[in-house]
């Protein structure tokens, strides 16, 4: 993940305790600027974000970021919970899509090299081509900022070791 100067998304996240809800403006070079809302959570084993362009229309996408150093603590039901969250928050109704996405995520989690960070995103509804390009660029920037935020704020639990008598 890039390590340059923090962009506007990361700058806001670095001051967030463990979750964030707010508005960003995404600038596409040579294209329009689009405002979007994001609700972002740092969970115990991953980051989760909900992205929408019009907060009354529901989410445009949900995404998750799993830093490499967090993968060992990833809960076994992650794929099921992520896809279920998307399904219920977006109201998506394409038959078979849920299982296909679940199986894809499960297979990738098993096959990915352990030292690799992972990110998953699911768009709720395909929009026009301009909106899809902006959404993809927005998600890319959000994934990068979330990864840096999650890794920077990670506090490993302290396990007290006591000798058995």
Tell me what the mean pLDDT of segment 92-108 comes to.
86
Tell me what the mean pLDDT of segment 58-70 comes to.
91
The answer to whether 146 and 13 have CB atoms below 8 angstroms apart is yes
Domain coordinates in residue numbering, the chain: 8-153
- When computed from its CA atoms, the radius of gyration of the chain, rounded to whole angstroms, is 17
pTM: 0.82
Write the DSSP assignment of 95-151 as a string of letters. TTHHHHHHHHHHHHHHHS-TT--EEEEEESS---HHHHHHHHHHHHHHHHHHHHHHH
Tell me what the mean pLDDT of segment 149-160 comes to.
60
Distance of alpha carbon 154 from alpha carbon 9, whole angstroms: 18
At 14 the pLDDT is 82
In this predicted structure, the answer to whether residue 159 has a pLDDT above a threshold of 60 is: no
- Here the tokens at position 46 are 């991953």
The answer to whether 124 and 86 have CB atoms below 8 angstroms apart is yes
In this predicted structure, the answer to whether residue 47 has a pLDDT above a threshold of 60 is: yes
Distance of alpha carbon 35 from alpha carbon 55, whole angstroms: 11
Distance of alpha carbon 6 from alpha carbon 23, whole angstroms: 17
pLDDT band at 27 (very low <50, low <70, confident <90, very high): confident
- As a whole-number percent, the residues of the chain with pLDDT over 70 amount to 82
Of 124 and 49, more confident: 49
Of 1 and 105, more confident: 105
């Amino acid at each position: 993940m890039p390590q340059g100067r923090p962009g506007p998304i990361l700058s806001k996240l670095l001051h967030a305790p463990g979750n964030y809800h707010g508005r960003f403006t995404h600038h596409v070079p040579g294209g329009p600027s689009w405002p979007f809302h994001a609700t972002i959570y740092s969970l115990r084993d991953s980051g989760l974000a909900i992205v929408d362009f019009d907060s009354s229309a529901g989410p445009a996408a949900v995404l998750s970021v799993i830093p490499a150093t967090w993968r060992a603590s990833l809960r076994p039901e992650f794929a099921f919970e992520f896809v279920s969250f998307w399904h219920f928050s977006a109201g998506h109704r394409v038959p078979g899509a849920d299982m296909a996405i679940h199986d894809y995520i499960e297979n990738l989690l098993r096959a990915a090299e352990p030292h690799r960070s992972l990110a998953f995103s699911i768009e709720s509804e395909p929009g026009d081509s301009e909106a899809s390009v902006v959404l993809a660029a927005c998600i890319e920037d959000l994934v990068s900022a979330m990864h840096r935020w999650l890794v920077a704020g990670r506090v490993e639990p302290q396990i007290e070791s006591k000798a058995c008598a």
